Structure 1
């Protein structure tokens, strides 16, 4: 049998050493780096290519940031010819993202100590799989709560800075709730714009909640009903000035709620009074309430009304003195 002819690409030049095929790692390293750089620019998150010797393939890896599905869609748009199909993608979530998710899940009542730290971590990782940028707080208050939790979960070490203990963070929020993470426990004033201080209803809940309401506040920041909060201040023999100011701020809300309740009661009673069976009795009962007695309207006033334009002032206003 004859020897197969060499192809022109593999034919060696006279006097040159035989060519050694390049490994997949050396062959694809520059292109994998370019793909990772393009994704880093697009998503504004560092994406690193890592070569896996076992599978002899490249993996694009990043922390937090976009979801795996979002990166795969981006790769399909950048390389419609399927050139990036051989790349694996992997996103890892940081301790910061998991601690933030623990705060939110505690408020939702979904963090349970009975499953242990590994069970809690698995639950949170599954929850965050479809969320972009899971490490980003929703606002200044949540950011401050996250920093307090990470600081409380970081053990002291004489050898230098150490990372927060995620298991301890899970245990803290599952045991003590999240109210202790609030950065400030004072009543917010007109100049407070960062939502760090407490709203009037939050302040009264923190001040007066007991029993199940106290548990709901500490674990989920659930506030008291407006009527209950205002009644608690009213029943306090010596309310502090902030509590009084908070209750005064809630009075318009309470008044609107009571007005809506009274309107609903009136509509229901009016509907019942208009029914054929109860119309005569209801009309007879409601009529005296709708129209005042005729004698009361015809009766003259005991004293004439003072004319504010002609009656002299007994004392000048303080602003005019």
Structure 2
């Protein structure tokens, strides 16, 4: 698989693997199947895994720790801290204190069974704490050899610039896809100005862009049923976007699940999408995106089609919007 470089020195596979759904939010869990998907991802050339301490909470890091003990493939791991949740609750608080970051880092190292985290993100920025204070604490973790690089999630361009002035930021992770193009306005340009990589999560729009979930049916425990974009009126309006993706994919001889990430890959060499899945068939479909080549004409057609189809509904509930664009 093609390799791409985030920041100055973090070279990873052009597609990473988002592992959140292996632990919660998207219906029943199956650790054995998830481990098979992780091993297959490595065989397909994916070497960049994305997790967080709040997925589970903690279950996802423990699952990846088991996989890392089983595999001989050289894998790179990104994890996150800063969202605090009680087990079984979606309600969260944000915590960026340097002492908390150190404790969270040590917990992640223990669960993952590694000596150093390749990329350690601030999952959400605490609104009343100066980002400089948080970055100074993370810089001490770099100096101590506990983390190799620092990342930020869902930040504004202003916060990114302030953070990068304290210590180099390797990557920004923010939702970015054919129905979430907000980063194009200021955050992505700031990343390019500063030489920071960009990691889009939810490149398939939580699966909606593949043509799934348009009937409003979800497995028990799937939190997408509560999200504004999946509600009845919004879902019907957004179907025009999914239909456009399907039409363009048919024209390119690929699947919608391949067209959506291939569009992101075409936005620049500094972009590494992390489609998430816990199923082998979806994994293989997603990896096929690296074989899809979009021409300038294709990209222009996509832009023109999307301009006529505004997305309906917010990305998250108000609780989930905490710390977004902070």
Structure (1 or 2) with the greater strand fraction? 2
Structure (1 or 2) with the greater helix fraction? 1
Give the structure-2-normalised TM-score.
0.23
Give the structure-1-normalised TM-score.
0.23
User: Greater relative contact order: 1 or 2 (C-alpha under 8 angstroms, separation 6 or more)?
Assistant: 2
Larger radius of gyration: 1
